[in-house]
Each structure stands twice: as C-alpha cells, then as structure tokens.
Amino acid sequence: MGLRRFYLLPEQKNQPESFLEGDEARHILKVLRLGAGDPVVLFDGTGWEGLARIARVEGGKIYLSIREQRFLPKDSLLKIRLAVPLIRPQPLEWILQKGTELGVFAFIPYYSTYSGPKAFRQDGGEKRSRWERIIAAAGKQCGRNRLPILENPVSLDRVLESEGTGLRIIPYEEETAYTFRNLADNTPKVEEVLACIGPEGGFSPDEIKQAREKKFLPLSLGPRVLRSETAALALVTLLQFTWGDLSEPYPTGRNWADIHEE
C-alpha cells in the first residue's frame, strides 16, 4: 500500500515549520494513528508534492519535516471547463468529486431558467467552502496534485458569452441526429473544451437558441434522458478517452513509498 496523502494549504507549507491541522490532523491521529517518524505524502493543490515525516504533534497540529519535493501536477493534456447547473446539493457535489477524479480543469457553477430553487441560487456563494473541501478530498484520494479551478456561480448567459478558442459543446435531449461519435469522427484534435451540462429541468428553447448563436454545438448523449450528474460524468469520460489521458499511459516518476526502505 502506498503512503497516505494529505492536503497541505499553500500558506501552511510556507511557514517556518510546515504543519497540518483540523480534519487532516484528526484523521492522522485518530483514524490512522500515525505518529512521530512516520512518512506521509503532501500536496498543496498547485502541482507541488512533497515527501515528509511527522516531526512532532503539538497543540492539535502535526509538524512535518519535508524530505523531498517535486512538481508533478498529473494534469490531462485536455483542458475541460465544465459548466455545471446549481442543482440539488448531493448530485452537484457528486459532479465536483467525480469530475476532479476524472481530470476536469475547471468547474463553472451556473444558474438558468430551470436550474433549481431561487433560494439555492442566492446562497450558492456560501457553499463555496464546502465545494472546495470536496474537491480537495477528491484530489487527495485520486493522486491529483493540482486541483481544478472553482469559479464563482454565474448566470447561464455569462457562461455562453465567455471567450475561448476551444470546442464548445452542450448536450441536449432534443438533439437526436448529431452524436458524440459524429463529433469525434469530425474533430481530429482538441486541446480545450467548454462543456455546458443542462439542469434537471433541461434547457429552454431560447437558451439553446442563444447557445447556438454563441457557437455551442448541441449534441446527443444517446436515446435515454440522463440526469445532470450522469450526463456530466458520461461526457467528461468520453472527452478524456477521445482527446485526453484516459487512453494513454502516464509516467508516475519515483514511487514515494520507497522512503520506508531508505
């Protein structure tokens, strides 16, 4: 089994003595029962990764001695910016978690005509800290060292008007002729994509009309109507397999787990 990974805030890493506190420290002490001298792997969400040993435990903080460090972001070559509707908390959080594991570059939460209760849209900003914790935990679990960008919630209009030179796609249940296979067959290389996932109530005709005007390509994800979270993960998987890193080997570099033998 590999060494345990822990999320170290950049500001904690830059202290004279690096330390972990809060949930990470409690997990180390109460669940894993690690102590002084035990090796751990650290990451700070920017692509940095460090090999460390626990130096001491003091005042609820775990102080660390960083032995080696490297920049190993483990990013996909395909930059996927995923616009996700402000739907019910559980499926939205599931998209953030699994999208992080699958290598999404950025999440753009948005509200639209059918994107959920007004009250949820209004307090979306207050949920940001929880969303950040979910993304960090997913990065910790999957071995990703650079965490996805989490943008502030915006309107669908802002998403559609955003600038960019990459592929712009919008899965739409009323589109029956143009499929992802058509897209893959006609697009040999993609480096960046903005994908806009529909809310539980779908897109309005006016929204799809506006999306077309802004050069978004509506496409079908099959004959069945998918929930927002299902459509999001199905699409990200297809994108990563076709143009990203799900079908390619990835060099891992040195195995940090060898530290216990040194």
Domain residues of the chain, as ranges? 5-72, 79-243
pLDDT at residue 256 is higher than 80: no
Q: Is the pTM of this model over 0.75?
A: yes
Please work out, in degrees rounded to the nearest 5, the angle formed at the alpha carbon of residue 208 by the alpha carbons of 178 and 169.
50
What pLDDT band is residue 84 in, cutting at 50, 70 and 90? very high
Per the CB < 8 A criterion, the answer to whether 49 and 255 are in contact is no
| Residues in contact with 154: Cβ distance below 8 Å, sequence separation at least 6, in sequence order | 108, 109, 110, 111
pLDDT at residue 109 is higher than 60: yes
> Domain 5-72 belongs to what topology?
Ribosomal Protein L25; Chain P (2.40.240)
Give the burial class of 34: count Cβ atoms within 10 A of its Cβ; 0-12 exposed, 13-18 middle, 19 or more buried. middle
Architecture of domain 79-243: 3-Layer(aba) Sandwich (3.40)
Phi, psi torsion values for 258, nearest 5 degrees: -70, -10
Please work out, in degrees rounded to the nearest 5, the angle formed at the alpha carbon of residue 239 by the alpha carbons of 105 and 107.
30
